[in-house]
Amino acid sequence: MAEAERIIGTPDTPDGGDEPAAAAGADAQAVAERTRTGRGRRIAVLFAVAAVAYALDLVSKMLVVAKLEHHAPIRVIGDWLELHAIRNPGAAFGFGAAFTVIFTLIAAAVIGVIIRLARKLYSVPWAIALGLLLGGALGNLTDRIFRAPGIFEGEVVDFISPKGFAVFNLADSAIVCGGILIVLLSFRGLDPDGTVHKD
């Protein structure tokens, strides 16, 4: 049966068998305070990462719309990588163009789940991963809400075009990187609450 061991976040509770009740109470209060402080720092990491990912995506799309849209693609690395502005009604990498509203609702739900999960967050790697997911989801959701053809049906601005691959944006990249990091953390047995599971 798997054994859970806390490695990040809440320190081990001190043994208070032979200590006076007042000292034990003070120690417990100190532990609780350190727990709240540690969680607060990790939540700050989550939102800081999300803010950076969101800002980079937003600024890059503004530049693409202003400078690149309706122009010829710009070659970055020969034929292997181009900057090519398109409007994408589907999900990441152009999939599911017929389900724009559904993808918008899914993105909103993901954001809600991440914010709820933040209350139990004690792991810095998980904070980074969830921050990437949150920033990417917010980036594409902003397009869905505010861009043409209408609210919740807006088309996402994509512009990174590798040879032989779908066109995507920085929000898509943040979502994929966050997802990969979550998979790696899960394989290592590390949970968002800072516990690690060993066989």
DSSP character string of 6-37: E-SSSPPPPP-SSS-HHHHHHHHHHHHHHHHH
Q: Which residues pair with 160 in a beta bridge?
A: 83, 168
State how far Cα 46 lies from the chain centre. 8
Residue of 12, 27, 79, 158 with catalytic role = 158
Interior angle at CA 105, CA 42 and CA 166, nearest 5:
85
What is the number of alpha carbons within 13 Å of residue 32 lying toward its C-beta?
A: 6
**Mean pLDDT across the chain, nearest whole number?**
82
**Which residue's structure tokens are 């060993």?**
198
pLDDT band at 105 (very low <50, low <70, confident <90, very high): confident
Of 135, 154, 138, the residue nearest 146 (C-alpha)? 154
pLDDT of 48-83, one tens digit each? 999 999 999 999 999 999 999 999 999 999 989 999
> Is the predicted pLDDT of residue 4 greater than 60, yes or no?
no
SS3 content of the chain, % helix, strand, coil (to 5): 60, 15, 25
How crowded is residue 19: how many other Cβ atoms within 10 Å of its Cβ? 13
pLDDT of 16-33, one tens digit each? 555 555 545 555 564 455
DSSP 192: T
Residue of 143, 172, 191, 199 with catalytic role = 172
Q: Which amino acid is at 143?
A: D
Question: 192 Cβ partners below 8 Å, 6+ apart?
Answer: 117, 120, 121, 122, 123, 126, 130
18 is a catalytic site residue: no
172 is a catalytic site residue: yes
